[in-house]
Amino acid sequence: MLQVLSHRSYRHLFLAQVTALVGTGLTTVALALLAHDLAAGKAGIVLGTALAIKMVAYVGIAPLVGAYASHLPRRTLLVSLDLLRASVVCALPFVTEVWQIYVLIFLISAASAGFTPVFQATIPDLLENEEQYIRALSLSRLAYDLENLLSPMAAAALLMVMSFDVLFLLNGLAFLVSAGLVVSVVLPSPQASDDETPNVWCRVSHGMGIYLKTPRLRGLLALNMVVSAAGAMQIVNTVVYVRSALGLGEQAVAMVFAAVGGGSMLVALLLPKMLERVRERPVMLAGGALMTVSLFLGLLAPGLVGLMGLWFLLGAGASLVMTPTGRLLKQSCQPEDRPALFAAQFSLSHGCWLVAYPLAGWVGAEVGLIETFVLLGAIALVSTELATRVWPSWDPIVLEHDHAPMEHTHLHYHDDHHQHAHEGWEGLEPHRHPHYHQVGLHRHAFVIDSHHTKWPS
């Protein structure tokens, strides 16, 4: 897995990701403790609301950035968003009112909503070899898992010698280091998109259209809901469960958060070899089932060790779903559509979190934690079953399909879809001119694009 780090540009981007993740992990713990200081027993409501606001920013901003990402300089965009995140997170130590948390979380999240999809869509352009890209996905997932494991442990150690406010400043420093690493490499320019429409809605909805018309991605959306239900329970209610129900301290909160990273990291280490022999569908469905079972085990009202075990299983299940996601997206679109499709995944998956976070916070505070386990477990069960139905077990990459007659204009090369006569004025390839497609039957790797607007039955 580590061989992929011999690629200098990817290595710097990976280190930028790791640095930003570690800082964000410190902020996750610090934000939970800040909410507990400001709202005490209502900390779950504050966290649930703050994270719902975060999801609103993700859902709204990501498609806008994805629509125009192919027209923007990648490095300038990524560095600017890192600097914005650094400046905003450094304001969190000075918060004295709950509403101030909400405003700052929205600003940080808006910047992240622009940064993450562009960052993710850049990696397959850097690593065009499929095997390298699979390793990079697993390494990226491992980075998330190590952050979940090590950041809470580091936070627990730092909290022994400093107040949690300092963790916010360390996150700001991490974003600055991330920006410096991005500056140090030259990134490939995004491939030109065929879409020249000035209509903002058409641009924004382009990635969504590809996503929702692709059966395997509809299954992924249902599994995103499972990840959100399990993750919301863990993120929102860990501090409430450990501090209020179990009566334990800050270090115990960090330990329970770390258990999630342990489960997720174990799966990320084992998954690359597994994906060489097994398709994504059974692996990801197994992850959904594991998270569902783990939520229902919460009905046993576990103690500290039992809760760490449940969270370990939740982390393992989430990694089974999320690690293959980038590969699934890459094989479901044309290269020029990657920014739009990655943005659609970012937006739709966080739309699931937008539902799950308030449920976890409000039901946990107003009804009870056991009842919240039941509700979110039921959502995970229904969503896993839905994924098995909308994602066919027979899901080949290459499909035989008919082409309806079509006349349109877009930037193109003379590939299998474009064998037509010219008059001499059209210019060198790639070029753009009106052209006609006849009725035809053929086989190739099928994705939704300007020539294939409907999935074949």
Structural domains in the chain, CATH included, are 2-390 (1.20.1250.20)
Strand partners, 436: 407
Instruction: Report whether pLDDT(81) > 90.
Output: no
pTM for the structure as a whole: 0.73
User: What is the reported pLDDT for 381?
Assistant: 97
Q: pLDDT band at residue 198, thresholds of 50, 70 and 90?
A: very low
Mapped onto helix, strand or coil, the DSSP state of residue 185 is: coil
- Quote the CA–CA distance of 395 and 397 in Å, as a whole number: 7
User: What is the reported pLDDT for 147?
Assistant: 62
H-helix or E-strand spanning residue 400: strand 398-403
Q: pLDDT band at residue 309, thresholds of 50, 70 and 90?
A: very high
178-182, 388-392, 439-443: which range is least confident on average? 439-443
Mapped onto helix, strand or coil, the DSSP state of residue 420 is: coil
Residue 27 near residue 150 (C-beta atoms within 8 A): no
| 145-156: pLDDT as tens digits | 566 556 666 776
What average pLDDT does this structure show over 215-242? 92
User: What is the reported pLDDT for 286?
Assistant: 96
User: What is the reported pLDDT for 390?
Assistant: 94
Instruction: Report whether pLDDT(107) > 80.
Output: yes
- Quote the CA–CA distance of 417 and 167 in Å, as a whole number: 55
Instruction: Report whether pLDDT(312) > 80.
Output: yes
Listed ranges 195-204, 227-236, 273-282; the one with the highest mean pLDDT: 227-236
Instruction: Report whether pLDDT(344) > 80.
Output: yes
Q: pLDDT band at residue 238, thresholds of 50, 70 and 90?
A: confident
User: What is the reported pLDDT for 227?
Assistant: 95
User: What is the reported pLDDT for 411?
Assistant: 62
* 136 vs 374 pLDDT, higher one: 374
68-77, 149-158, 321-330, 394-403: which range is least confident on average? 149-158
What average pLDDT does this structure show over 235-260? 83
| 150-173: pLDDT as tens digits | 666 677 677 777 777 788 888 889
Q: Which residues contact 165 (CB under 8 A, 6 or more apart)?
A: 30, 34, 92, 93
Residue 118 near residue 77 (C-beta atoms within 8 A): yes
Percent of residues in the chain assigned helix, strand, coil, to nearest 5? 75, 5, 20
Residue 115 near residue 76 (C-beta atoms within 8 A): no
Residue 23 near residue 175 (C-beta atoms within 8 A): yes
- Quote the CA–CA distance of 224 and 324 in Å, as a whole number: 12
Instruction: Report whether pLDDT(142) > 70.
Output: no
Helices (H), ranges, 186-249: 200-213, 215-240
Question: Where do we find the tokens 């293959």?
Answer: 324
Instruction: Report whether pLDDT(197) > 60.
Output: no
Q: What are phi and psi of 398, to 5 degrees?
A: -90, 130
Residue 8 near residue 134 (C-beta atoms within 8 A): no
191-205, 287-301, 384-398: which range is least confident on average? 191-205
How far is Cα of residue 51 from the mean position of the Cα atoms in its chain? 15
What average pLDDT does this structure show over 381-387? 97
What average pLDDT does this structure show over 59-82? 77
What average pLDDT does this structure show over 242-265? 82
User: What is the average pLDDT value for the chain, to the nearest integer?
Assistant: 80
User: What is the reported pLDDT for 215?
Assistant: 92
